[in-house]
Structure 1
C-alpha cells in the first residue's frame, strides 16, 4: 500500500507540473499577433501526416532519417506499456494486461525489439555528435547548454531503455523460478539474453526488478517534465506546427495588411479602412510580441538539428547568419518575456528586444531570402518570416538599412528600377 501511495503522489505531481508548464508555453505562444491558419483543413492534415508522422523531409538524409525513425517509433510505441505500468503502480498489480495471452506476448516482444532499436539509435547519435563531430551539430550557438541538452536527452533515452530491458530480464527470470506475485506473461526475445548475467537469488532478482521498474517510471515522468525546457519539445509540437504550416509557395511573400490599407486609402477615395485596433500599429517586428503566434510556435518547435544552417548560403560563405540561431534566439527571448510576466503579473519593459538584444542587424541583412532553410527544416519551421519582419521594422519604422539598400530604394523611387540609370537610357546596351 505504501508503494502505491508513493507512486500515485509522484504520478499526479508530475502530471500537474507538466500541465502548469505547458499552459505557460501556450500563454507565451499566444503573446504573438493573430494569424489565420485555419483554411484548407484537409490539406493541412495531409501535410501533418506526411511531414510529422511520416517524417517525409527527414529522408533527404537517409541514414540519420532511418535512425531517427527507429528512435521515434520505438520511444513512442514502447510508452504504450506505460498504461500497464501506471495501472500496476496505482492498483498494486503486476502485468495487469497479461490476461490477453498470445497478443500480450506479441506486444512485449515488439516493445523489446523497439527498445533495442531506440538504444542502438541513441548510441549511434551520441557517437555522431561527440566522436565523429558532424559539422552541423556545432556552431557558436551550440555551445554550453544547447550542447549539454542534446547529450542529456540521448543519455536519458539510453538509460530508460536499458532499465526497461533489465526490468524485463529480471521479471522473466522470476517467472521461470515461479516467484510469488510474478504473473506468467510476456515474451522476452531481447531481455532473455541478459538472464544469465543476473543472480539466481529470488530476493536479489526482486530488488533488481523493482529498482529497474521504479527507475523506468520515474525516469519517464522526469523526461516528460524535461521536455518543456528542452529542444525535445518538438516531440509534441511537431504535429501542430506542421498542421499550421504555410500552404502557399515558399517564394510568395505575404502582403502586409498595414501597408495594403495605406495604399488602398491613397488610391481609392471611397475606401473605408477597418477601425484601428487597440494595439498600436507597427510595421514589421522588433520584439517577440510583434511576431505572429505561428512564428513563436516555430521557435518552440525547433529541435536545433542544424539542417537549416547547413544549407544556408550566407552561413556557408562565413557570414554571421545562422537560421538555427534565429529560432533559438526567438525562443530564448520568448522564455525571458514569459518569466517577466510570471514575476510581475504582466510584462514590464526590460530595455531589451529581439532585434539588437538577441539578433543583430548584421545577421538579418546577411540573409539572401533564398528559402533554403525553410525547405530543409524537417518540421516546416520558417526562420525567413522572422528575418523579413525584423527587416521591415528596421526599414519602415526606423529608416535604418545598409547603404547599398538605401541606394537601391532611392533608385527605385527616382528611376523606377534598382539601377542608377535613367529609364530613357535602359536600352542603350542594345544599340550596338
Structure 2
C-alpha cells in the first residue's frame, strides 16, 4: 500500500501521455493525406521566420493589447510548466520538492517565486481575455462561424488556465514547510493566512489534493489540445517554418496544367497515346482542389494550426463589405472535413470509403470562394503565417478548369483573352485606336 499512490500516478501518466501520442499520430496521418510539396529550400530564412513569428510572437504584438497579453500567457504558461518535471519525479518516486536540496534553497526559491509571479500574471491576462470575449464581446469573436463548439472552446481553455494557475498557488500556499521557509512565495504568502485556521493535517490534504488535480489537469489539458484550436501551441512552430517564402502576390503554377501545356507544345507528343497501364498517369490528375486530399500537406497543417482568432476575417475586405467569405471559416471548414475524412479512414480499417461528400459545396460554397479579392490581407494578418488564400485559389482553379463554373463576368473575360488577346470585347486590330483620339 505504501507505493499505491506512485503506481496510480504512473498509470495516469502513462495513460495521459499514451493518449496524447495516439492523437498526435492521427494528426500526422491526417496532415499527410495532402499532396507532397517541397518546402525544404532556404532553411536559414525558415528558421528565422520560426524564431521571429512562432517563438518571438512578432505578428501578435501588432495589436498591442491582445498581443502583449498573449505573450504574457504564452511565456508564463511555458515557463511555469518547467515545474511539471519536478512533479513527475515526485509522483513516480514519492519524493517532495525533489529539486529543492539539489538546487539549494535560495535558487529553488527564486525559481518557484518566479513561477508564482508568472502564474499571477497569466491569471490576470486570462481574466482580461475572458472579459474581452464575453463582456466587451469584441466583434471578431462573434462572427457566425463562432457558434457552438468554436465559441465554447475559447472559454473552456480560459477556464482551464485559470484553474491550473490557481491550483499552483494553492499548492504552494498550503505547504507549511515551504511557507515557513519564506523563500519563493511572493504570491502564495498572501493566500497562506486564509488557510491558517486549518489543522496541519487538513493543510496537507489540501496541498495533496491541489497537487493531484494540478498534474491531472495538465495531462487533461495536453490531451484537450487535439480537439481544440489551441493545437497551435504545438503546430505554430512547424507551420511558420514551412510557410511559403515567395512574395505573397506570386501564385504557384499547377504541375498538372504545366504537363498538359508541355504536351500540347511538344511536336513529337501523341496526345491520343494511351498511358501505360498501372502507372500514375493512368488516372488523369485533377486540376485544382475539390476535397482535402487535393490540397497539399502544408495547407492541411495550416487548417490544424488555425487559432480562430479572427484577425484574418477582421481584415478581409470582402467580409467587411458583407460578403459571404470569412478566411477563418475557410480554415475551420477545411479542418472539419479533414477530421471527417480521418474518422472515415479509422472506421473502415485504414482506407477511405467514398462518403459522397467533399470540401467544395458540402463545406465551402462557390459564393465564398468568388468573394475573395486575392488581396492577401488574411495572410498578412495571421499571427502564425496561415495561408487561406492558397486554398481558395486551388478551389477556384477546380471550378474553372474542371467544372467550367466561373462567374459569367470571368467567363466573358477569359473568352475575350482567348479570342482577342485582351480582356476587352473588341478586335485586336482596334486595340491601338486610342492613340489616334484627340
Q: Identify whether the pair has TM-score above 0.5, normalized to the shorter chain.
A: yes
Equivalent residue, structure 1, for 2:247: 249
Conserved? CA contact 1:98–1:186, under 8 Å: no
Cα distance, 1:277 vs structure 2: 4.9
Conserved? CA contact 1:116–1:161, under 8 Å: yes
Cα distance, 1:226 vs structure 2: 0.2
Conserved? CA contact 1:163–1:212, under 8 Å: yes
Conserved? CA contact 1:141–1:325, under 8 Å: yes
Conserved? CA contact 2:126–2:161, under 8 Å: yes
Question: Is 1:259 the counterpart of 2:263 in the alignment?
Answer: no
Q: 1:227 aligns with which of 225, 228, 239?
A: 225
Conserved? CA contact 1:98–1:185, under 8 Å: no
Conserved? CA contact 2:20–2:222, under 8 Å: yes
Aligned ranges for residues 8-407 of structure 1 at < 5 Å? 8-99=10-101, 100-101=103-104, 102-171=106-175, 173-176=176-179, 187-198=184-195, 199-269=197-267, 276-277=280-281, 280-345=284-349, 346-407=351-412
Deviates more, 1:402-411 or 1:333-342: 402-411
Find the aligned partners of 1:261 and 1:77 in 2 and give their Cα distance.
Answer: 51
What do the CA deviations read for 1:370-428 (whole angstroms, capped 9, x no partner)?
00000000000000000011111111111111111111111111111111122232333
Cα distance, 1:57 vs structure 2: 0.8
Find the aligned partners of 1:277 and 1:235 in 2 and give their Cα distance.
Answer: 40
Find the aligned partners of 2:58 and 2:87 in 1 and give their Cα distance.
Answer: 33
TM-score, normalization: structure 2?
A: 0.94
CA 1:176–1:42 in 2, change beyond 3 Å: closer, same or farther?
A: closer
Conserved? CA contact 1:104–1:185, under 8 Å: no
Cα distance, 1:265 vs structure 2: 2.2
**For 1:228, what is the secondary structure of its paired residue?**
helix
Equivalent residue, structure 2, for 1:181: none
CA RMSD of superposed structures (Å): 1.7
Tell me the matched-pair count: 425
TM-score, normalization: structure 1?
A: 0.95
**For 1:140, what is the secondary structure of its paired residue?**
coil
Conserved? CA contact 1:309–1:373, under 8 Å: yes
Find the aligned partners of 2:282 and 2:221 in 1 and give their Cα distance.
Answer: 41
Find the aligned partners of 1:269 and 1:12 in 2 and give their Cα distance.
Answer: 64
CA 1:420–1:56 in 2, change beyond 3 Å: closer, same or farther?
A: same
Find the aligned partners of 1:44 and 1:115 in 2 and give their Cα distance.
Answer: 32
Cα distance, 1:269 vs structure 2: 3.0
Find the aligned partners of 1:115 and 1:429 in 2 and give their Cα distance.
Answer: 70
Cα distance, 1:279 vs structure 2: 5.9
CA 1:77–1:426 in 2, change beyond 3 Å: closer, same or farther?
A: same
Find the aligned partners of 1:64 and 1:245 in 2 and give their Cα distance.
Answer: 24
